[in-house]
């Protein structure tokens, strides 16, 4: 295998692993956060605005982790900084 093929395979595999693991954790965390918030709402309905506001802020922060993993995987696939380095080293062959 030549260097370009190795970099392509490594980039695609790493992007897949990043997306896979990067979405499993936030998905489980969001489910647990919503379940806990619903339990809290059932126990204290008067605190509904505070619990809901805090839930949405927490969900946004949790979701940002998945978005960052997605961005890293898209960079690895479409804007890989290693491509330019290898092309410069090989002289564009």
Assigned domain for 18 exists: yes
How many domains in the chain? 1
* d(C-alpha 93, C-alpha 4), whole Å: 10
Q: What is the CATH number of the domain that holds 63?
A: 1.20.20.10
Q: What pLDDT digit, counting tens, does each position of 9-22 carry?
A: 888 899 999 999 99
Full residue range of the structural domain in which residue 15 is found: 3-69
pLDDT level of residue 93 (50, 70, 90 thresholds): low
0.85 cut: is pTM over it? no
Q: What pLDDT digit, counting tens, does each position of 27-62 carry?
A: 999 999 999 999 999 999 999 999 999 999 999 999
DSSP label at 84? H
Assigned domain for 25 exists: yes
Q: How far is CA 35 from CA 32, 38, 48, in A?
A: 5, 5, 14
Assigned domain for 76 exists: no
């Amino acid at each position: 295998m030549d260097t370009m093929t190795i970099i392509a395979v490594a980039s695609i595999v790493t992007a897949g692993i990043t997306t896979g693991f990067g979405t499993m954790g936030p998905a489980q965390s969001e489910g647990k956060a919503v379940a806990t918030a619903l339990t809290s709402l059932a126990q204290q309905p008067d605190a509904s605005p505070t619990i809901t506001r805090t839930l949405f802020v927490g969900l946004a922060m949790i979701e940002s982790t998945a978005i960052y993993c997605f961005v890293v995987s898209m960079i690895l696939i479409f804007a890989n900084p290693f491509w330019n380095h290898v092309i410069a080293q090989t002289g564009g062959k």
